[in-house]
Amino acid sequence: MNTIQIEDKNFELMIESDPIKKRILLLAIQIGVDYEDKCPIFIGVLNGSFLFIGDLMKDITIGCEIEFVKVSSYEGDQSTGNVKQLIGLPKNIKGRDIILVEDIVDTGKTLNFLIQVIEKEQPKSINICTLLHKPNATVTSVPVLKYVGFEIPNDFVVGYGLDYKGLGRNIQGIYRAIGKTE
Closer CB to ligand IMP, residue 15 or residue 158? 158
Out of 93, 105, 131, 174, the residue judged to bind ligand IMP by CB under 6 A = 105
Catalytic residue among 34, 106, 155, 163: 106
The least CB distance from residue 76 to ligand IMP, in Å, is 17
Would you count residue 106 as binding ligand IMP (CB under 6 A)? yes
Out of 24, 42, 110, 118, the residue judged to bind ligand IMP by CB under 6 A = 110
Out of 61, 92, 107, 122, the residue judged to bind ligand IMP by CB under 6 A = 107
Rounded CA-CA distance 52/107 in Å is: 20
Identify how many contiguous H helices and E strands the chain contains and give both numbers. Answer: 3, 10
Rounded CA-CA distance 159/110 in Å is: 20
**Three-state secondary structure call for residue 149:** strand
Closer CB to ligand IMP, residue 92 or residue 107? 107
Out of 53, 114, 157, 171, the residue judged to bind ligand IMP by CB under 6 A = 157
E strands of 106-164, at which residues? 125-133, 147-151, 157-158
Rounded CA-CA distance 165/171 in Å is: 14
- Known catalytic residues are 106
